Amino acid sequence: MADLPHTVRVGLCGYGLAGKTFHAPLIQAVAGLELVAVASSDAAKVRADLPDAEVDSDPLVIATSGRVDLVVIATPNDSHASIARSALAAGKHVVVEKPFTVDLAEARELVALARRHGVLLSVFHNRRWDSDFLTVRKALAEGLVGNVTHFESHFDRFRPQVWGRWREQPRPGSGAWFDIGPHLVDQALQLFGLPDRVQGNFARQRTGAVTDDWAHVVLDYRERRVILHTGSLAAGGTARFTVHGTEGSLVKQLADRQEQQLRSGMRPGDPGWGEDPDPLVVFDGAGASRTLPAVAGDQRLYYRGIVEALNGSMETVVTPLHALAVMAVMEAAAESARTHVSVGLSLTPEERAAKA
């Protein structure tokens, strides 16, 4: 990997929801990163937040700029691969917003290109550092429910109106599954590794919907079942995580608050950042229950890991092979939804050997 200056200069491609709400504040909050350039069609919006940043309407200008060491791609999903390809070919390190690409073939092409150029490539699976997931992960590691037999992960919202944004248009990489699915899949693979088979079921439930707005995916791990679910017409009544095992059960009712905090204007690291007042409820085999405090979340740790990887002190936490595994499950679920049969993962032996 090429030598870098002490401070890594970052170019951010895209300043919509993902770029403005997540990437820019997190990058600015991490020592060793400097956000120096942004690609956006709305220069005034960028300059209001980042008056010292270079702004260009063309993401390829930022992705190949000599001022930039690390390119962060937060553009619409179907443009991820083309921008990443240009950045990698220019010798830039690259972070791609989820989903990595719109299909596994494109993802493999980018991984091979990063290897050829000896640069870092990672995908922004920031939900590994959510309080809800960290709390459940800790409980499972401590064996609080024994051997997990049923794991259910819901990321539900109540959005009865079709907004007409690009995520809801009939284009590659759109729809609820490609929006929310990467978060759910990455977390599941972190806990349980690769499933044997995948079953997917998608639907359009809202009036006027032209892409899936409901997805129910089951990962088959022999006796264990992992259920990943997202819907757009859930006003309440479901838990973020429900887990059953041979020695008990647990429920984490509410989701991590970092997105809500960022949307409200809180900056990463402010007092209360990542704190979660919603406890984990643990049920034993006799029917008794107790609560445990939630672990605080901190999505800054994703970008701290990127800095450490670029400084050579460790491998990036979200590796390219992790990202390929997520894409394989995403693609298998979509194929299953089309064909109405369970589908295996199209991964090579090397890809399967990658540890979560």
**Helical axes 80-89 vs 104-117, angle rounded to 10°:** 10
Q: Percentage of the chain with pLDDT > 90?
A: 90
Q: Is the pLDDT of residue 313 over 80?
A: no
Give all strands of the β-sheet with 280-284 in edge-to-edge order.
197-203, 214-221, 224-231, 148-154, 241-245, 248-252, 280-284, 289-292
113-125 residue pLDDT tens = 999 999 999 999 9
Residue pLDDT, tens place only, 48-71 = 999 999 999 999 999 999 999 999
Q: What is the pLDDT of residue 355?
A: 65
320-339 helix and 176-192 helix, angle to the nearest 10 degrees: 120
CA distance 310 to 44: 32
pLDDT at 120: 96
Q: What is the pLDDT of residue 6?
A: 75
Mean pLDDT lowest for which of 20-29, 31-40, 309-318? 309-318
Rounded to an integer, the average pLDDT of 243-249 is 97
The CATH code for residues 127-297+331-339 is 3.30.360.10
Cα gap 223→324, rounded to integer Å: 25
The pLDDT of residue 2: 46
Q: Taking residues 229-258, what's their average pLDDT?
A: 97
pLDDT classification of 310: cutoffs 50, 70, 90: very high
SS3 31: coil
- Cis bond before residue 99 (omega within 30° of 0): yes
Task: Identify the pLDDT of residue 312.
Answer: 86
Instruction: Using DSSP, state whether 215 is helix, strand or coil.
Output: strand
**Across the strands, what pairs with 151?**
226, 243
Q: What is the pLDDT of residue 315?
A: 79
What pLDDT shows up at residue 5?
55
Query: Could you state, in order of their start, the residue ranges of all structural domains in the chain?
Result: 8-124, 127-297+331-339
For the chain, the average pLDDT equals 95
pLDDT of 3 higher than 70: no
Q: Do domains 8-124 and 127-297+331-339 have the same CATH topology?
A: no
Q: What is the pLDDT of residues 254-308, one digit of tens each?
A: 999 999 999 999 999 999 999 999 999 999 988 899 999 999 999 999 999 999 9
**For 75-122, what is each residue's pLDDT tens digit?**
999 999 999 999 999 999 999 999 999 999 999 999 999 999 999 999
Which residue is it, tokens 């939630």?
294
The whole-angstrom separation of Cα 331 and Cα 175 is 13
- Residue, of 316 and 338, whose pLDDT is higher: 338
Which amino acid, 176?
A
The confidence score (pLDDT) of residue 171 equals 87
Which of 3.40.50.300, 3.40.50.720, 1.10.3720.10, 3.40.50.2000 is the CATH number of 8-124? 3.40.50.720
